[in-house]
Chains A and B, each alone.
Chain A
Amino acid sequence: MNFLKNLLTLRWITGRRVVIAVPFLWLTFAFLVPFLIVLRISFTEADNGGNPFGTLMTLVDGVVTLKVKIANYLFIAEDELYALTYLNSLKFAAITAALCLVIGYPFAYFMARAKPTVRPVLLMLVMMPFWTSFLLRIYAWKGILANHGILNNFLISIGAIGEPLHLMNTQFSLIVGMVYAYLPFMILPLYANLVKMDVRFLEAAADLGATPLQAFWRITVPLSKSGIIAGTMLVFIPAVGEYVIPELLGGPETLMIGRQLWDEFFTNNDWPLASSVTVVVILLILVPMAIFNKYKADQEARS
């Protein structure tokens, strides 16, 4: 009785609970529920008569029939094309993340060591590309890398090459586009980490006989580990499922899982198989994410 009365007076709605509820509701309706729908579809039959997918559970004559079709997953596991596409996606995402790290680290480092008055300007310059449409920026690379594009014309004009290089629709053009698009996502967390670093650690290292290069590898890099991991994850995870960049800049040998998804959904109209492909992608992304979260939690528990 008391419980019901308390419930009805709405006194349990406190500001603290409301604030906590907002992200929970968001994650529930924008992530968990859609994922469960996709998961459900992935276990059903493709129904070619009107509905793009069938039902999971039927009630006929008082008998509940649960029909779980795992053929889609078996198909994905058996078909070499899928394995190859997943591997390709992971490979290109990993190369992108690695190159972003190599290019982004010095970038972030010098931003963090710049005068405090200059830093906001540099930060703005890093984010400047976001002011232009993503599609437009990726499309612009076509003009740069094409056979008679800006880069080839320039190289021919200075006499570096005789024939135009075939750059477009290759692994090279794909990676250039991916690194270009994802670089800010590497730089920003690295910068946020490096700017907080106490320069006295570097002075202490120098004092103890470390050359600037040794101090960098022994002190700066280990201390920025969480920034490196955050940046790498921020680049790697979306890069795995990337569709637009491989579609515009990639070629026949750069088939990635985003493209495969598109084909299953819109060309073959096979929603259950497409859903299965999606679930596997999500698992591929969730596993490294979970490892990262565990690492972070361990680190926080230690300090």
Chain B
Amino acid sequence: MTIERAAEPFLLIRNLIKEFDGVRAVNDVSVAINKGEIFALLGSSGCGKSTLLRMLAGFETPTHGTITLGGKDIVGVPPYQRPINMMFQSYALFPHLSVWDNIAFGLRRDGLPKDEIAARVEQMLSLVQLGAYGKRKPHQLSGGQQQRVALARSLAKRPQLLLLDEPLGALDKKLRERTQMELVGIIEEVGVTCVMVTHDQDEAMSMATRIAVMSEGRILQFGAPGEIYETPNCRFVADFIGSVNLFNGSVSVDEPDHVIIDTPEGRHYVTHGITGTMGMPVSVAVRPEKIALQAEAPTLEQRAVAGEHGYNCVQGVVAGIAYFGNETSYHVQLDGGMVLKATRTNAARHDDSALKRDQRVFAWWDGADVVVLTR
């Protein structure tokens, strides 16, 4: 029996570079992924996330760098010999084979005995709740069913690593929400380590245990979904994940327990220290749901939370309202010039304090709820 050393990550990518005609699609990426993790590579199209996934699958050869899986170097191993299976974007189910044969395809290549193949295929079909659909051809299934066949096919060989390429991209919104949960449930039930690629932040946040945000071939930030959302480390990540208000300004007071940042829209009192210097240009990031929006000026208690001397409080005029049912999103034209995004949860059915267009409003927030970005 071997004792697993927790210090050793299961999948280790080191200094990976991929160049296409001199252009770096993946630029010096290093990632360590633990066993059983669902790891999401998140980025917009062309950020290099798909190229990275294709290198893991073996369809692309790295220009430089190493990939080790379970301690073994897999660069140079052809895709058909890797213990890695992939669920393709829009699934790539073989159109001429039935659902059953699609799932059995990989098992047959391994030369497993017939009865074992049958047992495994049946097991996979019941895992994705498609027991009665074995004889159908892929085009006779709905999008959601095809997605489950693709998942069953990629899990049938019991891979050490499962790759998901935009796993829910081809599904409509309602189905996507339901499938996200199912997919995570199945992956956790099987216990396979999983790397997924997506441009959809909701998909990444809701499914992954850890996310890497990619841009222009580089990884900008690693972290659990909550970390990435609440403590983004740069403007790109703050802006890419969710919605954010960025106040650009400079540091005017720098104390260990608080900083004050001056911006054209007002002064920001931040209740935590930052690693920066006086006068340094920074951005204060405030999420729309952290902002309180009201018609009357903040009360004394509210000002105690926001900060003294009218810190963390701005004024403006409601310029746009978008009602989503569960919440309402407001665009407020601030006196300082920028447009502030703020949301209010519609907790009660009838809200007497509902704000109207062109109404003058106050917006304030807790100095602990903001993030100061230095890059």
Interface membership of B137, Cβ < 8 A: yes
Closest to B110 in A: A209
B residues in contact with A203, CB < 8 Å: 57, 59, 79, 88, 92
A residues in contact with B79, CB < 8 Å: 203, 206-207
CA distance A207 to B92 in the complex (A): 11
CA distance A201 to B241 in the complex (A): 33
CA distance A214 to B85 in the complex (A): 17
Interface membership of B356, Cβ < 8 A: no
Given contacts A209-B109, A210-B105, A214-B109, contact A204 B157 (CB under 8 A): no
Neighbour of B88 across the interface among A204, A222, A223, A302, CB < 8 A: A204
A residues in contact with B135, CB < 8 Å: none
Interface membership of B80, Cβ < 8 A: yes
Interface membership of B251, Cβ < 8 A: no
Interface membership of A218, Cβ < 8 A: yes
Segment 62-116 of B: residues with Cβ below 8 Å from A = 78-81, 84-86, 88, 92-96, 105-106, 109-110
Interface membership of B153, Cβ < 8 A: yes
CA distance A214 to B110 in the complex (A): 12
B96 touches A208 (CB 8 A): no
Interface residues on B, range: 20 to 34
Interface membership of B357, Cβ < 8 A: no
Closest to A218 in B: B105
B157 touches A223 (CB 8 A): no
Neighbour of B105 across the interface among A208, A211, A223, A303, CB < 8 A: A208
B92 touches A200 (CB 8 A): yes
Interface residues on A, range: 20 to 34
Segment 324-346 of B: residues with Cβ below 8 Å from A = none
B94 touches A201 (CB 8 A): yes
A204 touches B109 (CB 8 A): no
CA distance A209 to B85 in the complex (A): 9
Given contacts A204-B88, A302-B137, contact A219 B106 (CB under 8 A): no
Main secondary structure of the interface of B (DSSP, over half): mixed
A209 touches B80 (CB 8 A): yes
A residues in contact with B81, CB < 8 Å: 209
A209 touches B94 (CB 8 A): no
**B112 CB → nearest A CB, Å:** 11
**B20 CB → nearest A CB, Å:** 15
CA distance A225 to B59 in the complex (A): 26
CA distance A200 to B165 in the complex (A): 12
CA distance A303 to B138 in the complex (A): 10
Main secondary structure of the interface of A (DSSP, over half): helix
Segment 189-243 of A: residues with Cβ below 8 Å from B = 198, 200-201, 203-211, 214, 218-219, 222-223, 225
**A143 CB → nearest B CB, Å:** 46
CA distance A223 to B57 in the complex (A): 24
**A83 CB → nearest B CB, Å:** 39
A223 touches B96 (CB 8 A): yes
B92 touches A208 (CB 8 A): no
B residues in contact with A214, CB < 8 Å: 109
A207 touches B80 (CB 8 A): yes
Closest to B163 in A: A207
CA distance A302 to B95 in the complex (A): 11
A205 touches B105 (CB 8 A): yes
**A268 CB → nearest B CB, Å:** 51
CA distance A198 to B94 in the complex (A): 10
Closest to B59 in A: A203
Neighbour of B157 across the interface among A208, A211, A218, A222, CB < 8 A: A208
Q: What would 10 more interface pairs be, CB under 8 Å, given A203-B92, A208-B85, A223-B95?
A: A200-B92, A203-B57, A204-B92, A206-B58, A207-B80, A207-B84, A207-B85, A208-B153, A209-B110, A211-B80
- 17 sample A-B contacts, Cβ–Cβ < 8 Å, listed by A number: A200-B92, A201-B92, A201-B94, A203-B57, A203-B59, A204-B88, A205-B94, A206-B59, A207-B57, A207-B85, A208-B153, A208-B157, A209-B110, A209-B157, A214-B109, A222-B96, A303-B139
Query: Which residues of B are in contact with A by a Cβ distance under 8 Å?
Result: 57-59, 78-81, 84-86, 88, 92-96, 105-106, 109-110, 137, 139, 153-154, 157
Query: Which residues of A are in contact with B by a Cβ distance under 8 Å?
Result: 198, 200-201, 203-211, 214, 218-219, 222-223, 225, 302-303
Closest 8 CB pairs of A and B: A208-B106, A209-B109, A204-B92, A206-B79, A200-B92, A222-B96, A206-B80, A209-B80
